[in-house]
Structure 1
Amino acid sequence: MWNLMVVEDEAIVRIGLRYMVNWESYGVYWKAEASNGEEALQIMESENIHIVMTDIRMPGMDGLELAKQIKQRNQAVQIIFLSSYDNFAYAQEAIRIGAVDYLHKPTMDEEEVAKTLITVVARLEQAPADDPHLSEEDRNNYYLSLLDKYTFPETRYHSALETNDFQTGYWLTVFRKRDDAVPDSEDADSLRFMSLQYLIDEYVSKDWGGVVFHRSFREIIWIAPGAAKSGQETYADRGKYLDSLRQKVFELLNIALISSASSLYPDIGQLPEAYMEALLQLPINEQSDNFIVRKSKAFVDKHLLEDVTLAKVAAEIHVSAGYLSRVFLKELGENFSDYVIRNKLEYAQKLLRETNKKVYEIAADIGYTNPHYFSKLFKERIGMTPLEYRNQ
């Protein structure tokens, strides 16, 4: 049985929830109740709680702050939020914290709660087989010790790395925030980093498995088995998979990541070598300029005289068009299409100044088959027609 604690300031709501669902039929035991966040944290210190179902709006400490503190102490605890307010901002913050679900109290029913419980229990059952006596901090420190030959333990406990999943070998990936030139120091940054780690852990645990941990809130390390759980993806597919993971992180947390993966290694004792290989391959200059944007800009510059579209560039650098559009605007403060148009018109101005080509020829040179559209666009952006620009 997995122990549940319900945190809700209204007693009648707690009673209603208690008898809404046959909890034990889903492998969940109603272990404790609390009327506020402070009381819930006290219970967490004395009871082994696996699932916390908490209201968001409560007197004193609200549910969001409670969840952040719980996750900081024990990342494995599963959080379910309750709210009387159908508010997207709450739902978005719940995702950042790593909540399993966000239930709307006025409309939720037994079927919806049961569906959430099935998801929660599945996540708990799929958790890595680490020593249950280790705290989250001790577990993290243990995995860190495996990355350095000088701290590599002589005796290893039975962890997730010693399961059958790693019989095909393993590979290691290092993730860093793109702007992570200096380690985070404030509590808020640390909590945000833990949200990032939780999201990566949740993403890879469904598809690939392995172990996810962090180093000093600066980087996240993922040790992955040689093959995905489905058996359809292997080490050879890692590039595409990492691209999709980084895209998901950007979409949900608005955090741009860089990453680097090691080769495939057969033995856990080679983790120090795998970690060093991944570190040495981390992109050098991506801390100050997003690599995806640089790649897309380079493609545009190379193909400027063609019909350059967002979809073409996204396909070339293996990201979705939506993701490229968002990261481009975030990094440059300019839409992708505006960037292309600006560069095409700058080249057109050069041709107008330095050649005798006719306007329709210049339009065709930079990929506009309709010279009237080109002239209209030129006037809108430059403030005069192409001929006026040439004759000034």
Structure 2
Amino acid sequence: MNVLLVDDEPLELEQLEYLIQPIFPYWKLYKAADSCQAMAISQQTKIHLAFLDINLPGKSGLELGADLRLHNETIDIIIVTAYQNFHYAKQSIRLGVVDYMTKPIIQSELADILGKYRNNRSQSEISRLIHDALTIIHEKFADKLTLPDLAGEVHVNPTYLSRRFHDEVGVSFSEYLIQYRVEISKKYLLSRPDWSISAVAEKTGFNSQHYYSTIFRKSVGKTPKEYREKGK
């Protein structure tokens, strides 16, 4: 799933990315600061969902949404604004947006909107089996969860689950679990400064700090300590 985030405030982009990634760690997120950057991305990559801030330099988010829709008729659009303005809401309805959000974005509200989006768009893509498997992973990621354990929870053969998981999610069970743990650990690194790196590793299911740091650096491009320092 390719998702475009457009906002001229870098902190707003980082916050939105921070909220989305733990829920959907394998969504590919593209970030843009204005309509020109956004259109350049959309011309190179098929975007499935776009979060557009209304107040952008140059063209507004609503104008950008119209341009994106002309280029890609199937794109879903969520408008984000700091103002509860009926005029904006009315224009958003005309544009056919999926939803309309006001800042500051609340995590529970975002999760609800993304849940509705996933249900509306992906029922044919994600089966009940894989939906249940993902739910268990999200609940038990900190445990020593193995593919046979997961298969037992959803009452299917491990080989069958492995094949279905890869076919529907696009990555293997182990790849998804590791990436999900990394995304949750990023949240802990910033929200729990009192936890040591070793404690974060343990809380997210990694069996050693060294292994965790190696995986984190490979995924994020910096060590957990560097990531925490940058986020202060």
- TM-score w.r.t. structure 2 length? 0.50
User: How big is the shift at 1:5?
Assistant: 0.9
- 2-side partners of 1:75 and 1:126: how far apart? 20
Structure 2: which amino acid aligns with 1:67?
A: G
Does 2:73 correspond to 1:80? no
Query: 2:105 aligned with 1:119, yes or no?
Result: no
CA distance in 2, matches of 1:69, 1:126: 28
Q: How does 1:374-389 map to 2 (within 5 A)?
A: none
**2:59 match:** 61
SS at match of 1:19: helix
Q: Summarize the Cα distance change of 1:67–1:126 in structure 2 as closer, same or farther, 3 Å threshold.
A: farther
Give the superposition deviation at 1:16.
Answer: 1.4
Offset at residue 126 of structure 1 (A): 5.4
**Deviation string, structure 1 residues 9-49 (Cα, Å, up to 9, x no partner):** 000111111212445x3476142100001110110011121
Measure, in 2, the Cα distance between the counterparts of 1:27 and 1:68: 28
Change beyond 3 A, Cα 1:28–1:84: farther
Unaligned runs of at least 5 residues, structure 1: 129-392
Distance 2:64 2:116 in 1: 21
Q: Distance in 2 between matches of 1:28 and 1:85?
A: 31
> 2 CA distance for matches of 1:123 and 1:20?
20
Greater gyration radius: 1
Secondary structure at 2:56 match in 1 = coil
Q: Larger helix proportion, structure 1 or 2? A: 2
Indicate the SS of the match to 1:115: helix
Counterpart in 2 of 1:19?
Answer: 18
| Aligned pair partner of 1:71 in 62, 69, 89 | 69
Q: C-alpha displacement at 1:51, in angstroms?
A: 0.6
Q: Is the 8 A contact 2:21 2:27 kept in 1?
A: no
Gaps in structure 2 of 5+ consecutive residues = 126-232
Alignment deviations for residues 91-121 of structure 1 (CA, whole Å, 9 cap, x no partner): 1111110111110013x31110111111222
**Percent identity of the aligned residues?**
31
Whole-angstrom distance in 1 between the partners of 2:13 and 2:63: 20
Alignment equivalent of 1:49, drawn from 37, 47, 50: 47
Which of the numbers 88, 91, 106 marks the counterpart of 1:90?
88
Cα distance change of structure 1 residues 127 and 76 upon mapping to structure 2, 3 Å threshold? farther
Deviations, residues 264-310 of structure 1 (Å, cap 9, x unaligned):
xxxxxxxxxxxxxxxxxxxxxxxxxxxxxxxxxxxxxxxxxxxxxxx
Q: Is the 8 A contact 1:26 1:117 kept in 2?
A: no
Q: Sort the Cα spacing of 1:65 and 1:14 in 2 relative to 1 into closer, same or farther, 3 A.
A: same
SS for the counterpart of 2:101 is strand
- The number of residue pairs the alignment matches comes to 125
User: Aligned with 1:118: secondary structure?
Assistant: helix
Contact 1:26 1:118 in 2 (8 A): no
Supply the distance in 2 between the matched residues of 1:124 and 1:18 (Cα, whole angstroms).
Answer: 20
Against the structure 1 CA distance between its residues 8 and 127, is the aligned structure 2 distance closer, same or farther, given a 3 Å change threshold? farther
Q: CA RMSD in A?
A: 2.0
Q: Is the 8 A contact 2:52 2:78 kept in 1?
A: yes
